[in-house]
Structures are given as structure tokens and as C-alpha cells.
Structure 1
Amino acid sequence: MNEMTKITTTLKDWETDQEVRWCPGCGDYAILKAVQRTLPELGADPSNTVFVSGIGCSSRFPYYIESYGFHTIHGRAPAFATGIKLANPELDVWLITGDGDGMSIGGNHTMHVIRRNLNTQIMLFNNEIYGLTKGQFSPTSRVGTSSPSTPMGSVDRPALPCAFALGAGGRFVARAYDVSKNLPAVLKAAHAHKGAAFVEIFQNCIVYNKDRFDDFVAKGNADANQLWLENGEPMLFNKGTQGIALDQETLTLKVVDVADGDWQAADVIVHDVTNRSVAHMLVEMPFGPFPMALGVIYDDPRPTYEESLLGQDAKAREGKVADLSKLLAKGQTWTVGE
């Protein structure tokens, strides 16, 4: 496949004339602006870019990006994205989904687009609720979530999207949140990855699940409760006074104090984005005793689905001449008269 031809655009070039219809204060606004700021920095071309979505609040996204787009059916955006990419591998395909669209009715499709390793950026907006259909609990809602469908509190154990992506064989897994200044950097890393790049974005639903993520997003909580990962750098948080280390006896992660900035003495782990075992532990760290792991958690490319499939097709056609008439006449044939 050829590398994307970069062009010069501005944020305005990616804005449409459509009225943005999300609830005032919705986190989707911040994500939209982050994407519209990032695309010019990537050198992306609107005429070569496709946004594909399913159903849900997040899935209105294609209307607001000045590029090609498909607003498809519930949970099936990965199938459409796969067809688009196979039909024209040079297109830059972004897949937009939510915790309900991508983890419930679309869980099967999400699993397979990740497993196949289609070269696409998958942005899963996670607000831990069904916002479009008036606030029912979703696959990622926490135990005890009160909603119209769980008035006494949800008893379901929530799905972990990043753990799901790793379990499906994902080669790029990252996390961020809607108003984070680091979100564009995460999106750039996802775009640079050749293959299925899965990004979970925590998104505030102002109406049905307001401030759900304040325990690690709100001012005053962020420093102590966010672990921003950077390849080759120690896993430090809380202004460098704490870090993540490996307990050699139990082979599990633990929080350690860091004295005088000496993280090596505290055995703090240096982040390696190709370490799949540690990635699994990071995405499953229980929040509370641990901070929320954010940034690029895992990044280890392998050949993409379209490269393998189209390469196989090209090999099958070597030395052959397309002849439709010969194909139709092959084997037993007959003619139907009047």
C-alpha cells in the first residue's frame, strides 16, 4: 500500500455546515474538536478520508467531519469499514462507535475487525450509559448503576473495552478522555500504527451519567489518579511521588512510593509498548488502589488484513487472463430456446 499523500488543511477545512446536535456540555464536542485539530497535523486529505459509525450519540460524528462518511446500522460499522478498506485500501478509514454500539449489539463485529487487524482507527466513546435511548445501563456501566432499566442498581460486571481489545488480538490499544490535552497525541499514535488501532475515550454524558469520571478527571483528582504512559519512560504519577512496580512474588502490579525522584530504587517499571503481558495488567488495574492507565498502552504492529487478503488475491491472479465468457462456458452448459 502507498503511504498517505499529505496535504495542508486547517481545522475549518474539516468543519461541515451541519448543526452539531449533541446535548450542551456533552463530551462529544471536545472529542470532535480534538479530531478536527488532529487531522490537519496528520496532513490528512478530506477527499481520501472516511468516517464510519453505527448507532448512538457518538455515531452522529460523520455528519460533522468534512470528509466522506457512512452513518450505518447498529453495531455493524466494522463490517462497512472492512468493505470500504478492501474496495480502496488507500482510503484513511476511521471507525466511530460507543460502549453500547460497539460492546453490545456490535461486540461480535468489533471483535473481528480487531482480530483481523484491518488498518483503521477505532474510537470507542465510553460514557458507561445508553445516552441516545434515554439512560439505560450499558455493557460498561459499573455495578450499582441506577438507570430506568436498573432502578435498584445494575448487578452486571462491566466489560472493559481495552481488555476486550487485547483479548481479541488487538495490536494497538490506548485510552484517553474527552477533554484531555493529550487526546490529540493519542490519536496521532493510533493513526501512525499500521493495523487496527483501538482507542477507548471516556466521555462525559451530561444528562444521564454526569461526572461519572470525575474521580480521576476532575481538577484536584487528576494528578493522583492518572497514569499517563509514555514508551521508554517510568510509570510515574502523582507528580512523580508514586509509581507502578511489579511484585516479584505474586507477579502482579503494585503502587510504590518514590523518594526524592529515585524511581529506579523503587523498581518502577519502564513502559514498553510491546510488552503484551504488562499491557493486560495495566488495562485491568482496579481503579482506587491504582490510578487510571491512560495513553498508548500497547503498540506492536503485524501485517494488516487488507495487505494479506489482497496480496493473496494478487498471487491467485498471477499469469491468468480474465475471460468472463470462458468462465460462463466452463463445465456443463445449455441453451434455452423459445
Structure 2
Amino acid sequence: MTITDTSSTGADLGITPVSGSTGVPAADGPQKAKDYTSDQEVRWCPGCGDYVILATVRGFLAELGLRRENLMFVSGIGCSSRFPYYLDAYGIHSIHGRAPAIATGLAVTRPDLSVWVVTGDGDALSIGGNHLIHALRRNVNMTILLFNNRIYGLTKGQYSPTSEAGKVTKSTPMGSVDHPFNTLSVALGAEATFAARALDSDRAGLTEVLRAAAEHRGTSFVEILQDCPIFNDGSFDVLRRGDSESRLIPLRHGEPLRFGADGEYAVVQRGFGLAVAPAAEVAESEIVVHDAHCDDPEYAYALSRLSDQDLDHVVTGTFRSVQRPTYDDGVRAQTTAAQEKNPVGPDGLQRLLTGPETWTVRPAQ
């Protein structure tokens, strides 16, 4: 792997100015999606939503314009976690649920990398739930793509932490009695500085969200709703039908939250939360104007509660995008301060091992 001298100036390295990728060298020239296509055979089931996501990400990375050797994709275990094989960039197919921890180490030690995590609803929210929430609260400079098909696909169709209540699967033959996670609520409860949702088949919407996530400095969390045609076929079909406009609530910063084919529905404040109401029955002043940069996470959290497990309403777009110091910047600043206070020479490690804070264990007399 090419190691960039991060002590050089941005001009020396040809660094792109986009905020989330600041410090990552730009490509030498224009790129195309095929530049990110590896020589590996793509092995997902026919009709899997992962194909659309892969094609969208390849196209977006070409648009992002960073050096491929400075891109790092880290995955856990699951169908989605095969993603790094199919990109002509660097990647790590890691262990179940631990991708955020590995990505944290990369982000801290290599500020010249653009670090991405690819995970699924089972990988991220089951065994990896603890790693996910701590990456979010720490605000590590990485982008997390969570593919949510509401099922365990790789292990052949068991229910997952996002499966709807009553879901009949191989592991719940009488129906799941679990209450599922609202994925965006989990992320915002951990005070994610960037949180968004997109649908796999909405290529334009997904690209827009990816662009915003890449431009954000800190942890960017993106949930992508996608179909598993083998074990959970048609799980999001209601969001793709002709009447989907009455279910999908798209977010646009600074714009009133109206939706429907003719804007006949609106989001209004009700008590301590938000609710959907017929636009004709409320005053224009009552309709909530979306503020993705609201410092208080409670507003974005209230938005996430509009989405329900029955998919009567699903909010898409960027819920929250705010600035907060990042974990990796803080660690590097502390490391630099410690080195300046106590410069370490060539014998530094040996002095640490044999310094004054040592003792000798002698046999009892």
C-alpha cells in the first residue's frame, strides 16, 4: 500500500478539498465506475439489492475522485460483507460485528485514508451492536453503510434484529416475538453526527446520500433498505409501487415536510413528537421545515420515529448532519502533544521498558 507523507501540504499531495475526505490524496485524473470494478466474480443471488448498491457505489467513488490506494473498505460477516472483494480498492473482510473497531484503528493511524464500513442488519445490530454505537458516539471519521434486508441471508433465513414482529422464519417458525430495532433511532440515540437512509432502487437518492456522507467529517451512518429475493422477497415492495409516494417522506434541508403525489400529506408537531397529517387540514405554518443541521438530536430522533415496521411511512434522506470534534483527530492531537513533551529518540522503547518505574523480584530469603 502506498503510504502518503501526511506532514506534506495539501498542495503537495493534490488533496481534494471535500471536508470528509480532507487529507486524502485526489486521483491523478478523471475516473469511471469500471476503474472500481475488481476481477472477482460477483457472487450474490440473482435479484439481490446488493447489485444495485454496488453499481451505485462504484459510480459514486469515481465521482468522489480519490486515489484508489487511499480508499479502505472494511466489512464484517454476511452477504453485504463480500463487498470489498468486488471493488478495485483496498479492503478487509474482517470478523463478525467488529468492522467498526478495525475501521477505528485505520482512521486513527492513517488520516490519509478514506475509511468505509460495509455491514448488514445482523452483523451490525446483533453481535456488532456494541461496536456500532461506540463508533457513533466517538464520532470516528468513517462512513458506515448498513444494508438492511430485515433477515439473515448468508446463514439461510433466520430473523434479524430488524425483522418485523411476528416474522415467520426458520428460527421463528411460530413468528418472532422480538420487537425490532428502528435502525435510525439506534444511530441517533448514540448521537450520530450524520445519519441518513436510502432505498437501494432509488439510485439518485442513494447517490445524493452517499455524497453528503462522504463530505461529512466524523462518523457518517447510512442505512440502505434492500431486498433479499431468496429469504425475504418483496420486503420493501410497498416502497416501490405506484402509490409509494404516500409512504415515502423525503427529506430536503430547509424545505417543508410535505409528501404524496400532490403534496397532500405533511409532517407536523404533535406533543413531544412529530406526526403525519393531511396537508389540507393544517395551516402552512404548522408544517415542519426540515433542519438537518439542528444541534439537538431530539428533532432527528423524532423524525426517525415516523418510520414504522409496517412501512406505512418511511423517511428517507439526511436526518442529521452536524459538526463535532472527531475521535481520531483528538487521539492524534494527544499523541503529538505527548511526543513534543517527551521526545522519543532511537532508544525510546528500550528506555520505556527499563526506565525508573521498574522493580526486581528476588527469591524469598
TM-score of the superposed pair, with normalisation by structure 1:
0.93
2:151 touches 2:162 (CA, 8 Å); kept in 1? Answer: yes
Matched, 1:165 2:187: yes
Structure 1 match to 2:58: 36
* Structure 2 residue runs without a partner (length 5+): 1-5, 7-21, 361-365
Output aligned runs, 1:216-227, within 5 Å: 217-227=239-249
Q: Does residue 183 of the first structure (1) align with residue 202 of the second (2)?
A: no
Q: Would you say how many aligned residue pairs link Structure 1 and Structure 2? A: 329
| CA distance in structure 2 between the partners assigned to 1:329 and 1:207 by the alignment | 61
- Return the alpha-carbon distance in structure 2 between the equivalents of residues 289 and 329 of structure 1: 63
The answer for the alignment partner of 2:293 in structure 1 is: 274
The alignment partner of 1:158 has SS state of coil
Amino acid at match of 2:188: L
| SS of residue matched to 2:328 | helix
Residues 134-213 of structure 1 mapped to structure 2, 5 A cutoff: 134-181=156-203, 182-213=205-236
Q: List runs of 5+ in structure 1 lacking aligned partners.
A: none
Query: 1:285 maps to what in 2?
Result: 306
For residues 11-30 of structure 1, the aligned pairs below 5 Å read 11-30=33-52
| Cα 1:58–1:73 shift into 2, 3 Å | same
Aligned to 1:5: 25
Q: Distance in 2 between matches of 1:167 and 1:41?
A: 32
Instruction: Map Cα deviations across residues 160-202 of structure 1 (whole Å, 9 max, x no partner).
Output: 1111111112111100111113101100101111000000111
CA contact 2:139–2:219 (8 Å) conserved in 1: yes
The letter for the 1-side match of 2:217 is K
Indicate how the Cα distance of structure 1 residues 286 and 226 shifts in structure 2: closer, same or farther if over 3 A, else same. Answer: closer
What secondary structure, in the 3-state scheme, does the structure 1 residue paired with 2:124 have?
Answer: helix
- Whichever residue aligns with residue 24 of structure 2, its letter is M
Give the distance between the partners of 1:184 and 1:190, measured in 2 at CA: 10
Contact 1:97 1:125 (8 Å CA) reproduced: yes
Alignment match, 1:90: 112
- 1:5-49 deviations in whole A, cap 9, x for unaligned? 332211010000100000000000000011001111111221100
CA distance in 2, matches of 1:312, 1:122: 25
Aligned counterparts, 1:237-276, within 5 A: 237-239=259-261, 240-247=263-270, 250-259=271-280, 265=284, 267-275=286-294, 276=297
1:69/1:19 CA distance change after superposition, 3 Å: same
Aligned equivalents of 2:74, 2:213: Cα separation in 1: 16
CA-based RMSD: 1.8
Match of 1:108 in 2: 130
TM-score, L = length of structure 2 = 0.86
Q: Is 1:329 the equivalent of 2:354?
A: yes
Residues 45-124 of structure 1: pairs in structure 2 closer than 5 A: 45-124=67-146
Query: Cα–Cα, structure 1 residues 235 and 81, in superposed 2: closer, same or farther, change >3 Å?
Result: same
Describe the shift of the 1:122–1:333 C-alpha distance in structure 2 as closer, same or farther (beyond 3 A): same
What's 1:295 paired with? Answer: 317
